[in-house]
Amino acid sequence: MKKIAVCGVTGAVGKEVLRCLGHLPFGELSLTCYASERSAGKEVQTPFGTQTIERFSMEECRGFDVVFLCVSGSFSSKYGKQLSIQNEVVIDNSSYFRLDDDVPLIIPEINLSRCKGHRLISNPNCTTAILAVALYPIYRQFSLKRVIVSTYQATSGSGQAAMDELASQTANYLKSGKAGHRQFAHPIPFNLLPAIDRFEANGYTREEMKVVHETRKIFDDDSILLSTTAVRVPTFRAHAESVTIQTQHPVTPDAVREILQNAPGVVVKDDPQEQVYPMPLTSTGQYDVEVGRIRANPIFGECGLDFFVCGDQLLKGAALNATQIALQLFDANHFKQ
């Protein structure tokens, strides 16, 4: 019997972790649901039946095989390390430990083996995870010199309240021509915000720099040059990314298509004549990241390639990747090593 705890079950990511635990072949497990005092005592629907939410406390949260942290970075910074001592494995969804040299940053399709000897594991940024799962098979074959990414990020990246704001303020706008905002710096309906997370001194946002630093860490290659522009768009929960790469070795769209067709975690959606390409509409709720619009980019000679990816921000971008890490650690007998 696998003992699993989820901290933050009322948030957008926590809810999806519960669902993924039900969908993935974990076998028998005992589940404990934690949230803040505000939600403690309430009931939550899980794939394992209705459960009462418990108030999180360090004293109680011990002895689990896996603890999922689907909470804030400040929570993770306060409790993450200690929880990883009194439990077998902690998988943290926040950004707090991602660039910590002592904490592996894991996408199971890419670098699961780096978990070895670690009890605290970090789950990547959503934009990074969706990009990396498509990019890594290309990187392995052709190596990478430059990666240029422009994102089309869903409101789910800012949490449930942000998704609710998109729906309610869009309705307001259609009624009155006006939309308010609380979760975003400006109204999001029928608008775009080229600013996600706070700005750094170099003019990039933290979100944009996460893609740079995390991709390099996951690929274990600091020589890759990346630049990202992160844009919030009025969609609900699938992130899209327009990607231009310069490989080290000559690359062709056909070769990339074949590699990606055989790669785990991605599905090739690339039949433009039939209007088949990645879209939020089709990738929402899907485990695999859609890749399409694969074409030779002549501005980098024989080493240029453009493509478009779309993946569910709450799934491969968060909850699915985290639960896949846990499942594969169980399969690999990571526990009680």
Angle between helices 253-261 and 126-142 (to 10 degrees): 120
Please confirm, yes or no, whether 239 is among the known catalytic residues: yes
Least distance (Å) between residue 127 CB and a copy of itself:
14
Q: CA 108: distance to chain centroid?
A: 12
Given 33, 70, 115, 126, the catalytic residue = 126
Least distance (Å) between residue 146 CB and a copy of itself:
5
Q: Does residue 215 belong to the site contacting a copy of itself (CB under 8 A)?
A: no
Please confirm, yes or no, whether 115 is among the known catalytic residues: no
Q: Pick from 122, 129, 326: which is nearest to 215 by CA? A: 129
b/e burial code for range 194-212 (CB count within 10 A of at least 16 → b): ebbbeeeeeebbebbbbbb
Scanning 21-29, 52-60, 92-100, 305-313 for contacts with a copy of itself by CB under 8 A, the matching segment is: 305-313
Chain positions 124 to 183 lying near a copy of itself, rule: CB under 8 A, are 146-148, 150, 152, 166-167, 170-171, 174
By CB under 8 A, name the one of 128, 277, 323, 334 that touches a copy of itself. 277
Q: Does residue 292 belong to the site contacting a copy of itself (CB under 8 A)?
A: yes
Scanning 50-58, 70-78, 199-207, 320-328 for contacts with a copy of itself by CB under 8 A, the matching segment is: 199-207
Tell me how far apart the alpha carbons of residues 93 and 318 are, in angstroms, rounded to a whole number. Answer: 7
Quickly list H helices, 143-292. Answer: 160-176, 206-219, 253-261, 280-283
- Degrees, nearest 5: CA angle 95-98-102: 140
Under DSSP, the state recorded for 7 is E
Catalog residues that contact a copy of itself under the rule CB under 8 A.
Answer: 146-148, 150, 152, 166-167, 170-171, 174, 185-187, 190-195, 199, 202-205, 225-227, 229, 231, 233-236, 240, 242, 244, 253, 272-273, 275, 277-281, 292-299, 304, 306, 308, 310
Catalytically active residues, by annotation: 126, 239
